[in-house]
Amino acid sequence: MDLIKRFLSYTAVDTQSDENSETVPSTAKQLNLARQLKAELEGMGLEEVYMDDMGYVYASLPANTDKKIPVIGFISHMDTSPSMSGKDVKPRIVEKYDGGDIVLNKEQNIVLSPSLFPELLAHKGEDLIVTDGTTLLGADDKAGIAEIITAIEYLQQHPEIKHGKVRVGFNPDEEIGMGAAHFDVERFGCEFGYTVDGGEVGEMEYENFNAAKAVFRIQGLEVHPGYAKGKMVNASLLAAELIEMFPASETPATTEGYEGFYHIVGLSGEVDHASVTFIIRDHDRAKFEARKDFARSVAARMNAKYGEGTVVAEVSDQYYNMKEQIDKVPYVVDIACEAMKMAGVTPVKVPIRGGTDGAQLSFMGLPCPNLFAGGMNFHGRYEWVPIQSMEKAVSTVVRIVELVGKRDW
């Protein structure tokens, strides 16, 4: 099947995940795409095609040589972001983009413009797939799925490329941070792998944030406001005071690159009680630990001022920087860089200011850097992907398999 037809067939399936759900997958509709992928992989004649009850899909392209070659894998996620609807996606191809504004929806005056998204200009002359402005597109990460399967199909059609066993895996719920939670690394059986879930062409990510969550539960004392002097302790005011204790210069809006931050993501309060939730991020493990200690110290200082037990801090780790694991197998990055160059792509190593399934998988025993899939402006109505970038992603996957097959192990 043609790469673009394959991609568009996936975008037609609504797979939005739900961060408030307690089921796996978080939405039953993700199983619709899982079943479609299972059928497609079976139709291609792949081996070990398997879909579990949670919607994880696995398959194998068998080796075509007796040479001892490591089993490698490629992974992408099926779900789309809860941030915007992925139902009834109406994609459109803008051929030979001219560098100007793209009207996505005339009736609603929704325009994709290089004045707001200057990265568009780097793709002038290319063919862009865009939305109609009422939904996201789903290139994150249905582009990755389409690219992986198309690459596998290419390898089937070109047996002159000698390779070992290649595994593919597609999972639900990445967008809510649960994609790797039930990924069967043992069944996958790879020495290393790659998620194909990045953005701009050439990007390769193997450094991500160390991540923690800090929840502050604040107990106040409510009395009638007419008789409150010297008695009332307003938990909402304490929440505001607590927030002010965090450095204003260390937020997502004031940091970039390797700079860490504290980010308030939840706030609720009354006089009697209040709750404040921060996420804590830093690439450097020592700085990460120091940030968690700082969060605990904020609670300690509040308790010293207002009494023990006024503020309870619950600080819990979420995930860690995959670089700790990738540094043990640097050839995984070297192979990907060489493959990109063979595909006519300049590798760009960028730190992820977030997390990825690959980070969790790396600590589960599967070293797993993240490769570009080509999509841009994820999670919203302005999402778009250049067809040429998708084609280069396919070529990169093929060349990785080829290089692993040629390498002396």
Residues 58 and 171 in one domain: yes
- The percentage of the chain sitting over the pLDDT mark of 70, rounded to a whole number, equals 100
Work out the average pLDDT over 107-112.
95
* Crossing angle for the helix pair 139-157 and 30-43, to the nearest 10 degrees: 10
Catalytically annotated residue among 14, 147, 173, 174: 174
Q: Inform me whether the pLDDT recorded for 116 exceeds 80.
A: yes
Write the pLDDT tens digit of every residue in 24-36.
999 999 999 999 9
pLDDT score recorded for residue 44: 98
Number of folded domains that form the chain: 2
- Of 197, 200, 220, the residue nearest 208 (C-alpha): 197
Q: pLDDT band for 337, please (50, 70, 90 cuts).
A: very high
Tokens for 309? 């037990």
pLDDT at res. 239: 98
One domain for residues 259 and 271: yes
* pLDDT given at position 159: 97
The mean pLDDT of 118-144, rounded to a whole number, is 97
Q: How many whole angstroms separate alpha carbon 258 and alpha carbon 260?
A: 6
Report yes or no: 373 and 76 within 8 Å, Cβ to Cβ: yes
Taking residues 99-112, what's their average pLDDT? 96
- The arrangement of strands across the sheet holding 348-349 comes to 47-51, 57-61, 166-171, 72-77, 192-198, 370-372, 203-205, 348-349
Pick from 318, 350, 381: which residue ends a domain?
A: 318
Dist. CA 393–CA 196, nearest whole Å: 8
174 labelled catalytic: yes
Q: Tens of pLDDT along 170-229?
A: 999 999 889 999 999 999 999 999 999 999 999 999 999 999 999 999 999 999 999 999
Q: Are residues 223 and 356 in the same domain?
A: no
Q: Do residues 191 and 247 both lie within one domain?
A: no
User: How does the average pLDDT of the chain come out, rounded?
Assistant: 96
Question: Taking residues 332-337, what's their average pLDDT?
Answer: 97
DSSP 407: S
pLDDT of res. 339: 98
Of 318, 338, 355, the residue at which a domain comes to its end is 318
For 75, the enclosing helix (H) or strand (E) is strand 72-77
- Specify whether 46 is located in the same domain as 108: yes
Give yes or no: residues 267 and 172 share one domain: no
Tell me the pLDDT tens digit for each residue of 296-317. Answer: 999 999 999 999 999 999 999 9
Domain identity same for 137 and 40: yes
Task: Tell whether 279 and 133 lie within a shared domain.
Answer: no
pLDDT of 350 strictly over 90: no
By C-alpha distance, which of 204, 214, 181, 150 is closest to 17? Answer: 181
pLDDT bin (cut points 50, 70, 90) of residue 370 is very high
In this model, does residue 1 exceed pLDDT 90?
no
Q: Using alpha carbons only, what angle is made at residue 2 by residues 194 and 149, rounded to the nearest 5 degrees? A: 25
Query: In terms of domains, do 194 and 228 share one?
Result: no
Domain with 219 in it: 210-318
Decide if 173 contacts 56 (C-beta within 8 A): no
Token couple for 51: 């879909």
Return the pLDDT at 59. Answer: 98
3-state secondary structure (DSSP) of residue 7: helix
Q: What is the pLDDT of residue 352?
A: 86
pLDDT at 355 over 80: no
CATH, residue 40: 3.40.630.10
Q: Is 79 a catalytic residue?
A: yes
Nearest alpha carbon to residue 74 among 406, 404, 350, 408: 404
Any idea how long the chain is? Answer: 409
- In this structure, are 108 and 242 located in the same domain? no
At residue 29, the pLDDT reads: 98
Domain closes at, from 318, 351, 374: 318
- Res. 128: pLDDT tops 90: yes
Mean pLDDT of 63-87: 96
Q: Are residues 395 and 309 in the same domain?
A: no
Say which CATH number the domain at 286 has.
Answer: 3.30.70.360
136/46 same-domain check: yes
Give me the catalytic one of 14, 79, 153, 173: 79
Centre a 10 Å sphere on the Cβ of residue 100 and count the other Cβ atoms it contains.
12
Predicted pLDDT at 298: 98
- At 239-255, the pLDDT tens digits run 999 999 999 999 999 99
Instruction: Return the structure tokens found at 227.
Output: 């008789």
